[in-house]
Amino acid sequence: MSKVSFGIRSASALAAIFLLAACETTPDRDVSGSGAGGTGAAGSGSSVSSGTVSSLPAGVIAGSQKHLETEAAHRVFFAFDRYDLSQQARQALQAQAKWLAENPQATITIAGNCDERGTREYNLALGERRANSAKDYLVSLGVDASRISTVSYGKERPIAVCSDESCWSQNRNATTSVN
């Protein structure tokens, strides 16, 4: 019985050691001293340049979806039955192009979406044109086309669910996601 008791005690001690070791955390990188200005404001000095993070909010990983959303709008909107880019959409895509230049390892997918009006087939085609419109603009800004894939969801993935213009306008978009 003492051999069994010794074995249980040894196993318990080892388990406790492993549990404590698993709880050990690695210290966060100190990024407060790096970068010019250290403002931390999105778009104003907060960037990734030459592979070095200058200042990211806590918990945000460079090159991640959250990082993209912190630095640039990840969704652009369209008028009813249109796929041409507004000035506001172009500005959002310019910020995305800048982010992609600063994160050369990142690849993205642009999903074209529509509101509930129209047939499924029509909206799938319109969503594809919206996604390609955003992709073409990013490529014109110097982003390598091989880093961008597109998909159309038509009216299948609404952001807002109601049957009025306030919802429809939110659902007419192209959404950029980091792969």
pLDDT at 30 over 90: no
> What's the mean pLDDT in 1-13?
58
> What's the mean pLDDT in 93-111?
96
Q: pLDDT band at 37, cuts 50/70/90?
A: very low
For residues 6 and 122, which has the higher predicted lDDT (pLDDT)? 122
What number of other Cβ atoms are within 10 A of residue 13's Cβ? 10
- CA neighbours within 13 Å on the CB side: how many for 137? 24
What number of other Cβ atoms are within 10 A of residue 54's Cβ? 19
Cβ atoms 115, 164 nearer than 8 A = no
Closest by CA position to 107, among listed 148, 55, 155: 148
Exposure string of 14-31, with b = 16+ CB inside 10 Å and e = fewer, is eeeeeeeeeeeeeeeeee
Q: Which residues pair with 109 in a beta bridge?
A: 149, 177
Q: pLDDT band at 79, cuts 50/70/90?
A: very high
Domain boundaries of the chain, sorted by first residue: 65-178
pLDDT at 107 over 90: yes
Whole-prediction pTM: 0.67
Pairing of strands 75-77, 108-113: unpaired
**Interval 115-134: pLDDT, tens:** 999 999 999 999 999 999 99
DSSP string, 126-151: HHHHHHHHHHHHHHHTT--GGGEEEE
User: Which residue is listed with tokens 């778009």?
Assistant: 43
* One CATH from 3.40.50.1970, 1.10.3720.10, 3.30.1330.60, 3.40.1670.10 for 65-178: 3.30.1330.60
Least confident of 35-39, 58-62, 123-127: 35-39
